[in-house]
Amino acid sequence: MQILCTNGVKSVLLELIPSFERARDTKLAVTWGSTHALLKDLESGVGGDVAILTAEAIDDLIKQAKVKPGSRVDLARSGIGAAVRKGAKRPDIASPEALKRALLAAKSVAHSKTGLSGIYFPTVLERLGIAEEMKAKIVMPDAGTPVGELVAKGEAEIGIQQISELLPVAGIDIVGPLPPPLQKITIFSGGVLTAAKEASLAAALLAFLSAESPRLLNAKGLEPA
């Protein structure tokens, strides 16, 4: 069975997939990526059985008849956070003004190119009124490279990404979530693709993930949907 899955819930699926494979005596093939990149894959004709993306993306795919109506299953909620190199001083980001000071004081700030957090973060800079000042400080990893890796290597002083994507990276410390006025909560959902060759197994996987994922969410930087 083929799965297209956003990096936002990768850590959860990596832990749960082996149990499902053993229980069903099957093997799952997963393509990981940002929701943006995976949507482009689907547009270009890439096939599969299950898509696990943002709720908005799944709803759009239902409207396009690419995901079966009624198959959407909400799996987790995720917020955007900041990280610094392990052992480094953690800046105050508890309020918009504190975050603004921290960003202006940093020598470099990393965010993704196509992930939801990377697309959203420039709007945060605009709202803080520092977009122009930050342009020379922004660094972005190559596709497939977590933002946290740049921070761990010292190539960025602060990294901004979904907390669930920062947590698995070694060599960094999570500072905390963006302050509430600037936070963007994302719901990650799954759906059975209309072209699925193993639709019943795909539905079973989503039911399994819905039942089993709650016990893992907090440890992975996520919340119940």
Q: How confident is the model at residue 114 (pLDDT cuts 50, 70, 90)?
A: confident
* Burial call 96-126: b when 16+ CB within 10 Å, e when fewer: beebbbbbeebebbbbbebbbbbbbbeebbe
Q: Which two tokens stand for residue 213?
A: 């994922």
Distance CA 77, CA 86 (A): 26
Residue 115 predicted with pLDDT over 90: no
Distance CA 69, CA 194 (A): 9
Give the SS3 label for residue 11: helix
Domain range for 175: 80-182
Q: How confident is the model at residue 35 (pLDDT cuts 50, 70, 90)?
A: very high
Q: Which two tokens stand for residue 135?
A: 């342009």
CA distances to 20, 90, 104, 136 from 107, in Å:
45, 14, 8, 9
Domain end marker among 164, 182, 200: 182
Per-residue pLDDT, 132: 97
Kindly state whether residues 55 and 22 are assigned to the same domain.
Answer: yes
Kindly state whether residues 92 and 36 are assigned to the same domain.
Answer: no
pLDDT digits (tens, 9 = 90+) for 158-207: 999 999 999 999 999 999 999 999 999 999 999 999 999 999 999 999 99
Q: What percent of the chain has pLDDT over 70?
A: 100
Kindly state whether residues 72 and 89 are assigned to the same domain.
Answer: no
Looking at residue 70, what DSSP letter applies? T
Residue 61 predicted with pLDDT over 90: yes
Show the DSSP H helices in 110-171 as ranges.
116-128, 131-134, 147-152, 163-166
153 CB-contact burial (10 Å; exposed 0-12 / middle 13-18 / buried 19+): exposed
Mean pLDDT, residues 89-117 taken together: 96
Residue 4 predicted with pLDDT over 90: yes
* Residues 6 or more apart in contact with residue 215 via CB below 8 angstroms: none
Measure the CA angle with vertex 176, ends 163 and 57; round to 5°: 30
Per-residue pLDDT, 144: 78
Kindly state whether residues 146 and 60 are assigned to the same domain.
Answer: no
Kindly state whether residues 29 and 114 are assigned to the same domain.
Answer: no
Query: Domain holding 205: CATH number?
Result: 3.40.190.10
Q: What domain count does the chain have?
A: 2
Q: How confident is the model at residue 51 (pLDDT cuts 50, 70, 90)?
A: very high
Distance CA 123, CA 131 (A): 8
Q: What is the mean pLDDT of the chain?
A: 96
pTM for the model stands at 0.86
Spatial contact of 102 and 124, defined as CB atoms under 8 Å apart: no
Residue 129 predicted with pLDDT over 90: yes
Kindly state whether residues 84 and 178 are assigned to the same domain.
Answer: yes
* Residues 6 or more apart in contact with residue 112 via CB below 8 angstroms: 34, 118, 140, 141, 147, 161
Per-residue pLDDT, 143: 78
Distance CA 109, CA 106 (A): 7
Torsion of CA 187, 204, 70, 73, to 10 degrees: -10
